[in-house]
Every structure is written in structure tokens, then in C-alpha cells.
């Protein structure tokens, strides 16, 4: 299943982005917003906009969006690393 988002022509033409870059830029902005609101995980947000996790981290940084790292994440990382 996929979702199609329709952006009216007048909105697209108002974007201050070259036409060939519009779809990719919209996907990055959507992914960043969904990650910031904790609707998507970091990995899934990166996947949504087609960026590597490294490049997605830079996209978040450019927008001053902090990475989510909760106590449960620390515990999982420690368990994975053999720390617990």
C-alpha cells in the first residue's frame, strides 16, 4: 500500500526550489517533520526520504532537530554491546 500526496500546481510553483528537486525536498521535509514528532523512527524516516542514515542525520542537524535517544535506547544499546 502507498499513499499519494497531491500538491496543487499553484503551491508547487510557489516553492523556492528548482522544479527537478521539489519531490525529493518535500520528502526530506516530510521525513524530518515526522521524525521530530516521533511519528517515525530515525531509520524509517531516512528510508522514507531515500537518504542514508548518515545523510538523514545531517538533514536533521541542518534543521536543528535533535536526535531522539531515550533511556530504553541506552539500555538496548548496552545490551547489544554486551554491557548488561
Residue % of the chain over a pLDDT of 90: 76
pLDDT, tens digit, 9 for 90 and up, residues 15-42: 999 999 999 999 999 999 999 999 999 9
Residue 9 predicted with pLDDT over 60? yes
Picking from 66, 58, 59, 61, the residue whose alpha carbon sits closest to that of residue 36 is 66
Task: Let me know the angle formed at the C-alpha of 15 by 3 and 66, rounded to the nearest 5 degrees.
Answer: 70
Hey, where are the domains in the chain?
A: 9-81
Amino acid at each position: 500500500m502507498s499513499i499519494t500526496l497531491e500538491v496543487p500546481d499553484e503551491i508547487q510553483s510557489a516553492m523556492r526550489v528548482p522544479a527537478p528537486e521539489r519531490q525529493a525536498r518535500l520528502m526530506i521535509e516530510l521525513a524530518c517533520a515526522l521524525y521530530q514528532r516521533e511519528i517515525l523512527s530515525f531509520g524509517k524516516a531516512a528510508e522514507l526520504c531515500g537518504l542514508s542514515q548518515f545523510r538523514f542525520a545531517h538533514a536533521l542537524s541542518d534543521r536543528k532537530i535533535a536526535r531522539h535517544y531515550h533511556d530504553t535506547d541506552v539500555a538496548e544499546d548496552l545490551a547489544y554491546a554486551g554491557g548488561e
